[in-house]
């Protein structure tokens, strides 16, 4: 960022916002530190071209380097103050800190499963039975697409396009088309061809053994059963599989914005906590 703009900003927070000398020093120090980070890790990106993903990644960088929650929160406050100034004075078109939430020390990061634990969980299903084939397909589908329980419950058979390997979700008048991996597709094919051949395309994709639509409580009981059988020392729920999907996608190089769209989050800041637990 040009020195002239930084000087004007310093005068703004000192004279107009009437911040204390210590706060001014801390805010400027945070801005300089962020600029150093951009120069070192972000190549051609400068402070006037920064986007929300870069800011979130920077906050994750601070956390990984042992910075306290209070320090990270202050850094975000410093950047938010800077970018609001830049936006209001027409130096930038969008505020990259808009709607970002400060980390809270009492907030627990989501639990996740590693790939070995997911394989162990799935291996508990007995695919020679209708229940086992259904449960394997459902677990792999949740993990393959990062689905919510409500989205699983609302799926019909015709929402699945086996040939193209795509799944259509219709929720809140919005549609999402999601790709599925081969393991999920194969399990779905096995379940449908063996046990649902007489079903209509507009029937629920997953039903109980009486042919009725599964309930939320029924799905949670299914997970509890296989968690106990697998002996995994974690409280495994469908939502943990959803978290695991996001973390594994991040580790495979998928962008945060693409994961946001796949998971149906309206705001990128909703999933910023995933960056704090994704391993390099």
Q: In the chain, where are the structural domains located?
A: 3-88, 115-277
Tens of pLDDT, residues 250-263 = 888 888 888 888 88
Q: How confident is the prediction for the chain on average, in pLDDT?
A: 89
Domains 3-88 and 115-277 agree in fold? no
Contact (CB, 8 A) for 132 and 150: no
Tens of pLDDT, residues 36-88 = 999 998 887 889 989 999 999 999 899 888 888 889 999 999 999 999 999 99
Sequence-ordered strand ranges (E) for the chain = 160-161, 166-171, 174-179
Q: Which fold has domain 115-277?
A: hpI Integrase; Chain A (1.10.443)
The edge-to-edge listing of strands for the beta sheet with 160-161 is: 160-161, 166-171, 174-179
- If pLDDT is split at 50, 70 and 90, which confidence band does 273 have? low
Name the one residue in this structure whose structure tokens are 């990061």: 109
* Pairwise CA distance, residues 163 & 161, whole Å: 6
Q: What is the pLDDT of residue 74?
A: 92
Contact (CB, 8 A) for 91 and 224: no
Beta-bridged to residue 161, according to DSSP, are 166
- If pLDDT is split at 50, 70 and 90, which confidence band does 152 have? very high
Tens of pLDDT, residues 103-145 = 765 455 668 899 999 999 999 999 999 999 999 999 999 999 9
* Pairwise CA distance, residues 240 & 111, whole Å: 6
* Pairwise CA distance, residues 82 & 269, whole Å: 19
Tens of pLDDT, residues 217-252 = 999 999 999 999 999 999 899 999 999 998 899 888
Contact (CB, 8 A) for 228 and 239: no
Q: Does the domain made of 3-88 have the CATH classification 1.10.150.130? A: yes
Q: What is the pLDDT of residue 106?
A: 47
Q: What is the pLDDT of residue 182?
A: 95
22-26, 98-102, 108-112, 169-173, range with greatest mean pLDDT: 22-26
Tens of pLDDT, residues 185-224 = 999 999 999 999 999 999 999 999 999 999 999 999 999 9
Contact (CB, 8 A) for 231 and 116: no
Q: What is the pLDDT of residue 64?
A: 87
Closest to 275 measured CA to CA, from 56, 15, 51: 56
């Amino acid at each position: 960022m040009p020195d002239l703009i930084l000087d004007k900003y310093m005068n703004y927070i000192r004279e107009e916002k009437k911040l204390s000398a210590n706060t001014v020093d801390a805010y400027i120090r945070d801005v300089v530190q962020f600029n150093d980070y951009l120069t070192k890790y972000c190549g051609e990106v400068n402070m006037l071209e920064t986007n929300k993903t870069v800011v979130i990644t920077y906050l994750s960088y601070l956390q990984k380097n042992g910075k306290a929650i209070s320090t990270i929160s202050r850094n975000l406050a410093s950047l938010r103050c800077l970018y609001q100034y830049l936006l209001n004075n027409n130096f930038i078109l969008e505020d990259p800190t808009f709607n970002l939430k400060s980390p809270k020390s009492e907030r627990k990061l989501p639990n996740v499963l590693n790939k070995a634990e997911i394989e162990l969980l799935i291996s508990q299903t007995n695919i020679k039975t209708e229940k086992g084939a259904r449960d394997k397909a459902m677990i792999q589908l949740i993990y393959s697409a990062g689905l919510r329980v409500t989205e699983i419950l609302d799926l019909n058979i015709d929402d699945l396009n086996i040939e193209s390997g795509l799944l259509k979700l219709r929720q809140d008048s919005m549609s999402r088309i999601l790709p599925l991996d081969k393991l999920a597709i194969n399990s779905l094919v096995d379940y449908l061809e063996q046990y649902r051949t007489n079903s209509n395309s507009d029937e629920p994709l997953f039903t109980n053994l009486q042919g009725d639509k599964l309930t939320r409580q029924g799905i949670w009981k299914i997970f509890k059963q296989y968690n106990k059988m697998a002996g995994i020392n974690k409280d495994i729920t469908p939502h943990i599989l959803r978290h695991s999907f996001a973390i594994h996608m991040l580790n495979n190089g998928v962008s945060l914005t693409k994961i946001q769209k796949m998971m149906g989050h309206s705001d990128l800041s909703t999933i910023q906590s995933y960056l704090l637990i994704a391993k390099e």
